[in-house]
Amino acid sequence: MIKWDRILKPQHIVIGLNSRKSFEAIRELVSVLDGGKVNVKELAANIIKREREASTGIGKGVAVPHAHQDDIPHQLLALGISQVGIDFASIDDKPVKIIALLATPVKHQKQHMELLAALSRTLQQETIRSQLIAAKDSSQVIDVFLGNSKV
Q: Is 66 a catalytic residue?
A: yes
3 state SS for the chain: CCCHHHHEEEEEEEECCCCCEHHHHHHHHHHCCCCCCCCHHHHHHHHHHHHHHCCCEEECCEECCEEECCCCCCCEEEEEEEEEEEECCCCCCCCEEEEEEEEECHHHHHHHHHHHHHHHHHHCCHHHHHHHHHCCCHHHHHHHHHCCCCC
Q: Out of 12, 66, 108, 112, pick the active-site residue.
A: 66
Active site residues: 66
